[in-house]
Chain A
Amino acid sequence: MKAVIHTGVPAPWAAPVNRVPWALLPLGNRPLLEYWLEWCSDMHILDIRLVLDDGAKQIEEYVGSGESWGLQVTYGFHRNQNDPVHFLKRFSSDDLLQGLMHVTGPAFPRKTGMQSRHPESGKTLAYINEGRALCVLSRDPAFLEAWIKGQTDLSTHQPDQFESLGREIVPLESLKDLYEINMSLVQGEVQNYLQPGYYDKDNVIIGYNVITPPTATLSAPLIIGNDCRISPMTSIGPNAVVGSHVLIDRQSEISDSVILSGTFIGQGMEIRSKIVFGNTVIDPYSQAVVTIPDPWMVSEVQSLPAFRDILESLFSRMAAGVIALTQLLPFALLFGWKLVQGSRFTHKEVQGRNGRVLKLPLYTQAKVSHGISDRIFMALGLDRYPHFLLAFYGRLWLCGHRPRTVQSQAAQDMNEPDAGAFPAAITYADLREQDNDADLERVEELYYRHHRSLWEDMRMLGHFIIKRWSDFFRGRN
């Protein structure tokens, strides 16, 4: 049998916690996807295809090859996430002969207490939610063939048929659903999912490397993840689900709440009936989402800048400084000449380092000319001279991606401050033919984020110099 799980189907309700893809949102401190993988493993469905979209890298890093669950997990992409059934057309009828499990959105496969069973041959089970098949489990090849071709209407099926297999499909349609499932798990349901050998009689589950001083009060029921630091005089529980890498400062009180991984709770905070994720506090019942900008209250756990980051920042500024210094005289002479001819620097508002708005000078030539002075001006990269100065002052990076204009969609999408953005003086766009393709620029930006290194910067700088001089010898500006 094969299982196809669409992890990229949009879930707008999860937007406030969108730094984690919905498939990895925690339920009782375990990602939602893990419950599905475990169920597949229980039913001996070993061939799993995860269909990825946003958060693809995080999901792939978490699941890997599926070895942890005894599964063989492969990955795929599907452009039209709103029509997940279309994805199945890529399988041959032989692939689906043994049966198929198809999951098309966020849902929790809750154990009902009945024994988990293998689906019977020739049967089809479906959970339909608002006319959409959220989960289909079929061992009926004829049905599957007709369904994939759009010749069968699933809306006639009654929900809750999965109970015969010892499961109930619970759709997640709001943060309230996420909160309530977490509360249900912490209040005892979690024992249904524990592996043999784990002790849960006191309704307290605490992970590895959790430091709890004697003056901290922990009240059951309670779930705490790994690598947490709990300060003196704090009170945690009852009904608290605390993720991994959570720091809780002195005299804080947390109850009836879900604290997602990587959150810092400041001194004297009182968190009741809330979901907290970094600096975002959510009231699951009113759906109110509040972002608190004060890092002393709640925030993401910050890590110290790595040595590599310091080195790269230093390289960026020093190299920009050296370039600006060596080009000072040629710039003064040649730009003076260009100025007389009518060339100018115009300004455009862009996002600089740390999301700050910056007026970026853009060189505008008075007239297109292939004269020697123009060619030298361009070959020396003097049109970028102000950009090198900005890189030296730390307003731009030396190498990176093209700065986003303030009005651009990508800039609007950007979370403030976006630590992963590297607006720069020298960009990938300078190393290719310019075409102002927004998609390509976005792709290059993401590429740089993940391949950023001193070597990559030096490579870009080298390519920039070579390209400018090769254009000079070819007689192009």
Chain B
Amino acid sequence: MQTSNPSEGVVIAEVPEGTLTASNVDPFREEFNRILSESHDLKVLILDLSGFTFMDSAGLGTLIALLKKSSEQGREIKLAGLRKEVRVVFEITRAYKLFDIFDTTEEALRVVE
């Protein structure tokens, strides 16, 4: 995952091209945990999911678990750049009620700042 730090306390993490399914949730979770542990002043993490072409229930479950973990630490997660295939998964499962979802990372940044 490529990360950038556009402003204090805000990190944008860009996921690599591919899918988030049961077969690769573990490396994703580890990478996510690494970002959380390395960025001590992190308040808002914007996850740019534009690289994901598909997400299954395991992937979605992992995102929800990570959201829960971050909230417990007082950190926010915002999602951006969902492709249609991934957005539909959020729609049908109503997971959009749990996350703040933006079209682009720029939109998310505007609201955060």
Partner-B contacts on A (CB < 8 A): 52-54, 56-57, 60, 74-77, 79, 89-92, 428, 431-432, 435, 437, 439-440, 442-444, 446-451, 463
Q: A439-B64, A440-B61, A443-B64 are in contact. Are A90 and B102 (CB under 8 A)?
A: yes
* Alpha-carbon distance between A393 and B101 when the two chains are bound, in angstroms: 43
User: Which B residues touch A92, using CB under 8 A?
Assistant: 106, 110
* Alpha-carbon distance between A403 and B62 when the two chains are bound, in angstroms: 21
**B94 part of interface (Cβ distance < 8 Å):** yes
Stretch touching chain A among B6-14, B30-38, B44-52, B82-90: B82-90
User: Which B residues touch A52, using CB under 8 A?
Assistant: 91, 96
Instruction: Determine the residue in chain A with the shortest Cβ distance to B102.
Output: A90
Q: A57-B91, A463-B22 are in contact. Are A447 and B98 (CB under 8 A)?
A: no
**B41 part of interface (Cβ distance < 8 Å):** no
User: Which A residues touch B111, using CB under 8 A?
Assistant: 89-90
User: Which B residues touch A463, using CB under 8 A?
Assistant: 22
Return 9 A-B CB contacts under 8 Å, by A number: A56-B96, A76-B101, A90-B111, A432-B61, A437-B65, A437-B68, A440-B61, A440-B64, A450-B92
Contacting pair A431 B22 (CB below 8 A): yes
User: For residues 66 through 113 of chain B, which have their beta carbon under 8 Å from a beta carbon of chain A?
Assistant: 68, 87-103, 106-108, 110-111
Q: A428-B61, A440-B64 are in contact. Are A75 and B92 (CB under 8 A)?
A: no
User: 12 new A-B pairs (CB below 8 Å) besides A52-B91, A435-B65, A437-B65?
Assistant: A53-B97, A54-B94, A57-B92, A89-B111, A90-B108, A428-B58, A440-B65, A442-B94, A443-B95, A446-B94, A447-B92, A451-B57
**B20 part of interface (Cβ distance < 8 Å):** no
B90 in complex: contacting residue of A54, A77, A444, A448, CB < 8 Å? A77
**10 A-B pairs with the lowest CB-CB distances in the bound complex, closest first:** A90-B107, A77-B96, A56-B91, A446-B93, A447-B57, A443-B93, A450-B92, A77-B101, A447-B93, A440-B64
Output the least CB separation between A28 and chain B (Å). Answer: 28
User: Which A residues touch B15, using CB under 8 A?
Assistant: none
* Alpha-carbon distance between A103 and B22 when the two chains are bound, in angstroms: 40
* Alpha-carbon distance between A92 and B106 when the two chains are bound, in angstroms: 9
* Alpha-carbon distance between A451 and B21 when the two chains are bound, in angstroms: 14
* Alpha-carbon distance between A444 and B57 when the two chains are bound, in angstroms: 6
- Of listed B65, B88, B94, residue having the most chain A CB within 10 A: B94
* Alpha-carbon distance between A450 and B99 when the two chains are bound, in angstroms: 20
User: Which A residues touch B106, using CB under 8 A?
Assistant: 92
Contacting pair A443 B60 (CB below 8 A): yes
B98 in complex: contacting residue of A53, A54, A439, A444, CB < 8 Å? A439
User: Which B residues touch A77, using CB under 8 A?
Assistant: 90, 96, 99, 101
Contacting pair B102 A432 (CB below 8 A): no
* Alpha-carbon distance between A431 and B58 when the two chains are bound, in angstroms: 9
* Alpha-carbon distance between A89 and B106 when the two chains are bound, in angstroms: 11
Instruction: Determine the residue in chain B with the shortest Cβ distance to A81.
Output: B97
Contacting pair A60 B91 (CB below 8 A): yes
User: Which A residues touch B101, using CB under 8 A?
Assistant: 76-77
Contacting pair B60 A447 (CB below 8 A): yes
Instruction: Determine the residue in chain B with the shortest Cβ distance to A89.
Output: B111
Output the least CB separation between A474 and chain B (Å). Answer: 15
* Alpha-carbon distance between A446 and B98 when the two chains are bound, in angstroms: 14
A448 in complex: contacting residue of B57, B68, B98, B99, CB < 8 Å? B57
Contacting pair A449 B58 (CB below 8 A): no
* Alpha-carbon distance between A463 and B102 when the two chains are bound, in angstroms: 33
Output the least CB separation between A80 and chain B (Å). Answer: 9
User: Which B residues touch A53, using CB under 8 A?
Assistant: 96-97
* Alpha-carbon distance between A450 and B88 when the two chains are bound, in angstroms: 10
Output the least CB separation between A273 and chain B (Å). Answer: 36
Output the least CB separation between B105 and chain A (Å). Answer: 11
User: Which B residues touch A79, using CB under 8 A?
Assistant: 96-97, 99-100
* Alpha-carbon distance between A450 and B65 when the two chains are bound, in angstroms: 21
Output the least CB separation between B28 and chain A (Å). Answer: 14
User: Which A residues touch B100, using CB under 8 A?
Assistant: 79
User: Which A residues touch B87, using CB under 8 A?
Assistant: 75
- Of listed B88, B91, B106, residue having the most chain A CB within 10 A: B91
* Alpha-carbon distance between A76 and B66 when the two chains are bound, in angstroms: 22
* Alpha-carbon distance between A463 and B21 when the two chains are bound, in angstroms: 13
* Alpha-carbon distance between A440 and B95 when the two chains are bound, in angstroms: 9
User: Which B residues touch A56, using CB under 8 A?
Assistant: 91, 94, 96
B103 in complex: contacting residue of A60, A76, A89, A450, CB < 8 Å? A76
User: Which A residues touch B102, using CB under 8 A?
Assistant: 76, 90
Instruction: Determine the residue in chain B with the shortest Cβ distance to A87.
Output: B111
Output the least CB separation between A262 and chain B (Å). Answer: 20
Output the least CB separation between A55 and chain B (Å). Answer: 10
Output the least CB separation between A48 and chain B (Å). Answer: 13
* Alpha-carbon distance between A19 and B32 when the two chains are bound, in angstroms: 38
User: Which B residues touch A428, using CB under 8 A?
Assistant: 57-58, 61
* Alpha-carbon distance between A446 and B108 when the two chains are bound, in angstroms: 27
